[in-house]
């Protein structure tokens, strides 16, 4: 199974992406285990986290084929090779950089760039993006998602990121969003694995109840 096929299967299993910004290599396995046990199948370690590549490597080893592990906040094409070397399978960014997208596709990894406008979305798709990350969602409500999906290809997952809580997901799903990226509402540096597990179960139960 290709990384893209695995990503699609994992997103279908639970349409939530864990963004564990600030995690350290010392904590990543406990945090990752808590997320996996709660049903999360896509986890990204933003590259502005401490020693992020070491965390990605540990998390990828822990997860094996059970989950799609990768990097977030990938802003340079050169970092794509390091993500792949660490065992990462997905490259997520807050922006649409054609060079990063092309490098990701060339490496056989899943490309999920960030966008905000239809122009950015179509440019990302033209560069080879496999999924789109609408960011920041705080400034783009469900009406924006619905309007954009009238023109965007429906076979490309649209993942909404920014300010997502268990109680505000339904309008986005009703508008056609595929899934959600979860940051500080799911994980913040200093949280224990028990606290992460509780937050993860809350999100997983909420989205299961809406599907």
146 is catalytic: no
User: Which residue among 29, 133, 146, 195 is the active-site one?
Assistant: 133
CA-CA distance, 94 to 191, in Å (whole number)? 24
User: Which residue among 44, 120, 138, 195 is the active-site one?
Assistant: 44
From the CB of residue 65, how many other CB atoms can be counted at a distance below 10 Å?
9
101 sits in which H/E element: helix 98-106
- Whether 161 contacts 134, CB under 8 Å: yes
CA-CA distance, 126 to 98, in Å (whole number)? 9
Q: What is the separation of C-alpha 62 from the centre of its chain, rounded to a whole number of angstroms?
A: 18
44 is catalytic: yes
Q: What is the separation of C-alpha 159 from the centre of its chain, rounded to a whole number of angstroms?
A: 8
- Whether 4 contacts 30, CB under 8 Å: no
Residues 6+ apart with CB under 8 A from 12: none
| Residues annotated catalytic, as ranges | 44, 133
């Amino acid at each position: 199974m290709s990384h893209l096929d695995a990503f699609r299967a994992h997103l279908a299993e639970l349409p939530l992406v864990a963004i564990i910004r600030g995690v350290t290599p010392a904590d990543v396995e406990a945090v990752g285990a808590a997320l996996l046990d709660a049903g999360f199948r896509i986890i990204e370690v933003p590259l502005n986290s401490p020693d992020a590549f070491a965390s990605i490597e540990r998390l990828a080893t822990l997860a094996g084929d059970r989950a799609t592990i990768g990097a977030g906040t990938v802003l340079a094409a050169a970092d794509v090779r390091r993500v792949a070397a660490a065992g990462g399978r997905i490259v997520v960014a807050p922006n649409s950089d054609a060079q990063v997208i092309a490098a990701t596709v060339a490496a056989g990894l899943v490309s999920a760039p960030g966008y905000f406008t239809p122009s950015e979305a179509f440019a990302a798709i033209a560069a080879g993006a496999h999924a789109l990350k609408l960011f920041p969602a705080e400034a783009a409500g469900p009406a924006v998602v619905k309007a954009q999906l009238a023109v965007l290809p429906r076979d490309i997952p649209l993942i909404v990121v920014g300010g997502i809580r268990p109680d505000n997901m339904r309008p986005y799903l009703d508008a056609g969003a595929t899934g959600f990226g979860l940051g500080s509402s799911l994980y913040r540096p200093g949280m224990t694995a028990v606290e992460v597990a509780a937050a993860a179960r809350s999100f997983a139960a909420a989205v299961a109840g809406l599907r």
